[in-house]
Structure 1
Amino acid sequence: MEKMVHIIREEQAGDRIDKIISTLDPEWSRSQVQQWIKDGSVLVNGIQVKTNYKGSLNDSIEIIIPEPEILDVIPEEMNLEIFYEDLDVLVVNKPKGMVVHPAPGHLTGTLVNGLMAHCKDLSGINGVLRPGIVHRIDKDTSGLLMVAKNDMAHESLVNQLVAKTVTRKYKALVHGNIQHDHGTIDAPIGRDSKDRQSMTIVDKGKHAVTHFNVLERFKDFTLVECQLETGRTHQIRVHMKYIGFPLVGDTKYGPKKTLDIGGQALHAGLLGFDHPRTGEYLEFEAPMPDYFIDLVQTLREND
């Protein structure tokens, strides 16, 4: 059982206790923290409080972090589109609408469920809920993911991501007409203090860099290719919003009036990396899904 103690700072005084605690770790949701408070896992100055308790300067918060729930992931037969596979790595083209890995309360229908049915050997570095998963893409983003089938491959692929030697290029359709043919967005990304489920540009956020090239312009939209230098949560979606060109279909970061396509128009189309065992550079390209192709064709015809 892990414990954590936090002393309330001046700028936190007067805030609700659940809000204060949820800002201490980006993995802690406010609803999760509220449950800890109700369960008695949070003490303020040695006393149990309610979720609406407002902290005072120098209050001592003791948080008893519960052990993670032990969960089993059930293999599920799926018609996965495997682009490459050997004894060490696997490259899969994830469809739009599929979650990458299970989470408490959402244990079936994910890519990991399908991968476990497809192959028995996946790296265990990321634990029972994320076997083999080296990097992720959002539920409504389609495209290529590399998967590690053993711990050696996992460590190699993670090190390549850290060293920024993995090639990751995305196709995105955005609102507005970008005048520059290419550009670089260098802006730090962190959790939005007003909405813990969203990311935003914050001074003390994690370093994030996205390069973009314009592929085609339409009257009210632009088709771009974005290349990731870093891989922060929702990076392309947050960065394109930041420069005034949010993704089409993105109800979280885009305008209220957007095209109804069931999520952001974003496709991880190109993936390249050095093979963990041989060192050979491998590169794969997946065409845009049919809905994306049809959407672009419709915009061409309307123009």
Structure 2
Amino acid sequence: MTKKYELTVENEKGRLDKYLADKIDDLSRTRVKELIDDGLILVNQKVEKASYKVKDGDAIEVTVPAVKPLDVIPENIPLDIIYEDNDVIVVNKPQGMVVHPAAGHPDHTLVNALLYHTKDLASSPEGFRPGIVHRIDKDTSGLLMIAKNSQVRESLEDQLAHKTNKRLYLAIVHGNFAEEEGTIDAPIARNPHDRKKMGVVAGGKHAVTHFKVIEQFKGYSLIQCKLETGRTHQIRVHLSYIGHPVAGDPLYGSRKTLKGNGQFLHAQVLGFKHPKTGKWLEFKVDPPKIFQETLNKLRRNK
């Protein structure tokens, strides 16, 4: 059933997402951000950002819609585990794998594989994404960090919120660049004309992507992208917006493009501070075989 909460801020300071996660046991900061994105959290009758600083007297209304329970079953699916200890798992997700169960993808996800691998995963209020701290799209390959307990999950989410972690992506994109690097600062929201897509929309969520050109070919370029924010489809939307859509992208790209299994986008580098030891951990993985083979073809046709 749908739950509603009404809170009045008294003698409290700090970010809205942290305030609500501390006040409402069933909500993590990640879930709070999702509710904000869906317009289900109002501060003084207005939608505010997750980073909004609460102040005395703020009237906050939270609506948590009922979630249809999913029976998430462990599945013996091979995992490419790059690192694991008692608190954290770093996994290299293959292209074509959905991160967690959802409508249309009830099984064969990364979560199904993780549940078979270990019983130690941070619980999630929704039930269908234990351990998941952040996501990458189905057809994007690369590194993800997984939390084994709630304390670790909160710490990793906090690093994402404060931009203290490191996430670098490789992308093959259409076209060539005159500049060696650049920054795309453009707000992202649901596309008002197509609910399946995101887009650069005035009044949308603040979104910043930095890019660096690594190599240029005939009609295509290899670039590295650094996320400053983490909006849905951010890199794909931003690169399409500046006229350099990711090659193979079926949603935001060109019809005439490179043949593959979806967009040529790979989460290559992931760095974060270990929540328990405080040690900086950084990992790097090569893109999948089809990505590397396509690069070699482009180099031969240079």
TM-score band, normalised by shorter chain: 0.7 to 0.9
Partner Cα separation in structure 2 for residue 126 and residue 264 of structure 1: 31
Q: Name the CA shift for 1:284/1:3 in 2 (closer, same or farther; >3 Å).
A: closer
Q: Name the CA shift for 1:229/1:25 in 2 (closer, same or farther; >3 Å).
A: closer
Note the residue ranges of structure 1 that are not aligned, 5 or more in a row: 5-23, 29-63
Aligned pairs, number: 249
Partner of 2:128: 129
Describe the superposition over 1:55-90 as per-residue Cα deviations: whole angstroms up to 9, x where unpaired. Answer: xxxxxxxxx996321222000011100000011110
Partner Cα separation in structure 1 for residue 118 and residue 86 of structure 2: 10
* Aligned residue identity for 2:148: K
Displacement of 1:125: 3.2
Q: Name the CA shift for 1:122/1:65 in 2 (closer, same or farther; >3 Å).
A: closer
Aligned residues with identical type, % of pairs: 57
User: Which aligned pairs between 1:47-66 and structure 2 lie closer than 5 A?
Assistant: none
Partner of 2:238: 239
User: Which aligned pairs between 1:33-44 and structure 2 lie closer than 5 A?
Assistant: none
Q: Name the CA shift for 1:84/1:221 in 2 (closer, same or farther; >3 Å).
A: same
Displacement of 1:260: 2.2
Q: Is residue 2:274 matched to residue 1:272?
A: no
Partner Cα separation in structure 1 for residue 84 and residue 36 of structure 2: 36
Partner of 2:194: 195
Displacement of 1:104: 3.1
Partner Cα separation in structure 1 for residue 195 and residue 285 of structure 2: 33
Structure-1-length-normalised TM-score: 0.79
Contact 2:67 2:126 in 1 (8 A): no
Partner of 1:55: none
Structure-2-length-normalised TM-score: 0.79
Partner Cα separation in structure 2 for residue 67 and residue 240 of structure 1: 35
Q: Name the CA shift for 1:282/1:126 in 2 (closer, same or farther; >3 Å).
A: farther
* Aligned residue identity for 1:2: T
Q: Is residue 2:2 matched to residue 1:2?
A: yes
* Aligned residue identity for 1:83: I
Q: Once superposed, which parts of structure 1, at least 4 consecutive aligned residues long, lie more than 2 Å away?
A: 1-4, 24-28, 64-67
Partner Cα separation in structure 1 for residue 277 and residue 105 of structure 2: 37
Partner of 1:95: 94
Displacement of 1:126: 4.8
Displacement of 1:257: 1.3
Contact 1:187 1:209 in 2 (8 A): yes
Q: Is residue 2:151 matched to residue 1:158?
A: no
* Aligned residue identity for 2:265: L
Larger radius of gyration: 1
* Aligned residue identity for 2:267: A
Partner of 2:107: 108
Partner of 2:7: none
Q: Name the CA shift for 1:74/1:211 in 2 (closer, same or farther; >3 Å).
A: same
Partner of 1:208: 207
Q: Name the CA shift for 1:91/1:69 in 2 (closer, same or farther; >3 Å).
A: same
Describe the superposition over 1:97-125 as per-residue Cα deviations: whole angstroms up to 9, x where unpaired. Answer: 00000013421100000000001011113
* Aligned residue identity for 2:118: C
Partner Cα separation in structure 1 for residue 168 and residue 287 of structure 2: 12
**Partner of 1:295: helix, strand, or coil?**
helix
Q: Name the CA shift for 1:3/1:73 in 2 (closer, same or farther; >3 Å).
A: closer
Displacement of 1:2: 3.3
Partner of 1:77: 76
Q: Name the CA shift for 1:3/1:288 in 2 (closer, same or farther; >3 Å).
A: closer
Partner Cα separation in structure 2 for residue 274 and residue 126 of structure 1: 25
Partner Cα separation in structure 2 for residue 126 and residue 236 of structure 1: 28
Partner Cα separation in structure 2 for residue 65 and residue 183 of structure 1: 39
Partner of 1:250: 249
Partner Cα separation in structure 1 for residue 104 and residue 197 of structure 2: 20
Displacement of 1:26: 5.8
* Aligned residue identity for 2:224: E
Displacement of 1:196: 0.7
Q: Name the CA shift for 1:183/1:65 in 2 (closer, same or farther; >3 Å).
A: closer
Partner Cα separation in structure 2 for residue 231 and residue 127 of structure 1: 21
User: Which aligned pairs between 1:178-189 and structure 2 lie closer than 5 A?
Assistant: 178-189=177-188
Partner Cα separation in structure 1 for residue 209 and residue 125 of structure 2: 26
Taking only aligned residues, the RMSD between alpha carbons, in angstroms, comes to 1.9
* Aligned residue identity for 1:81: D
Partner Cα separation in structure 2 for residue 137 and residue 99 of structure 1: 8
